[in-house]
C-alpha cells in the first residue's frame, strides 16, 4: 500500500475524477462551442432586429462560454480550460462582429453602390472580415470595452481559486 501524504489541506487537492483529462477538455470544447453558437446567435439577433451595431451583448458570450467550459469539464479548473474559453469566446465574438457589421452595412446600399459594390457575397476573405470587425469598433467604441469584459469573464470562470493566508 502506498502512503498518502496529509501535508496539504483539502484545498490543495485536485478534485477526484474518473474521466481522463483529454475527455474533460473535449467535453469542455463541445459545451463551449454550443454556448458560443447560442449566445452568438442571440447577439446577432439583437443586431439584426435593431438594425444597428450594439456591442453590449458581447459580454454574454464570454459568460456563456466560460461557464459552459466549467460545466463541460465537470467543474474542473485550470489554464488549459481558460485557454479553451478565451479562444472560443474570441472566435465567436469576431465571427458575430463580422456578420453583424455585414448586416448593418448591407442595408446601407447607397454607400456600397458609391464604391461599386452591388452585393456582398456570403463568403468573404479574412481581410474583409477583419475590416468589418475594425469597423464595428469604430461604429461603437464601447464594443471594445465589452469585448474585454467578455474575455475577462471567459478567463475567470475556469480559473483556479487561490487562497491567501
pLDDT in tens, the chain (165 residues): 444 444 544 454 555 566 688 889 999 999 999 999 999 999 888 888 887 777 788 888 999 999 999 999 988 888 899 999 999 999 998 888 777 777 766 666 566 666 666 666 666 677 777 777 777 777 777 888 888 888 898 888 887 665 555
Segment 108-133, tens digit of pLDDT: 656 666 666 666 666 667 777 777 77
- Burial group, residue 91, by CB count within 10 angstroms (0-12, 13-18, 19+): middle
Return the pLDDT at 164. 57
- Residue 114 CA to residue 108 CA, distance in Å, equals 10
pTM score, whole prediction? 0.71
The C-alpha cell that represents 61 in the structure block: 458570450
Return the pLDDT at 68. 94
Return the pLDDT at 16. 57
Return the SS3 of 165: coil
Contacting residues for 36 by C-beta, under 8 A, at least 6 apart: 61, 64, 65, 88, 89, 91, 92
Amino acid at each position: 500500500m502506498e502512503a498518502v501524504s496529509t501535508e496539504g489541506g483539502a484545498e490543495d487537492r485536485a478534485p477526484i475524477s474518473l474521466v481522463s483529462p483529454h475527455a474533460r477538455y473535449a467535453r469542455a470544447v463541445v459545451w463551449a462551442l454550443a454556448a458560443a453558437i447560442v449566445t452568438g446567435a442571440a447577439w446577432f439577433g439583437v443586431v439584426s432586429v435593431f438594425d444597428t451595431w450594439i456591442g453590449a451583448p458581447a459580454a454574454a458570450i464570454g459568460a456563456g462560454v466560460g461557464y459552459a467550459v466549467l460545466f463541460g469539464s465537470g467543474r474542473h479548473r485550470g489554464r488549459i480550460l481558460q485557454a479553451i474559453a478565451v479562444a472560443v469566446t474570441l472566435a465567436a465574438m469576431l465571427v458575430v462582429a463580422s456578420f453583424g457589421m455585414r448586416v448593418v452595412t448591407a442595408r446601407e446600399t447607397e454607400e456600397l453602390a458609391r464604391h461599386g459594390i452591388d452585393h456582398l457575397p456570403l463568403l468573404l476573405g479574412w481581410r474583409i472580415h477583419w475590416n468589418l470587425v475594425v469597423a464595428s469598433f469604430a461604429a461603437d467604441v464601447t464594443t471594445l470595452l465589452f469585448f474585454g469584459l467578455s474575455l475577462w469573464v471567459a478567463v475567470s470562470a475556469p480559473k483556479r481559486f487561490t487562497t491567501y493566508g
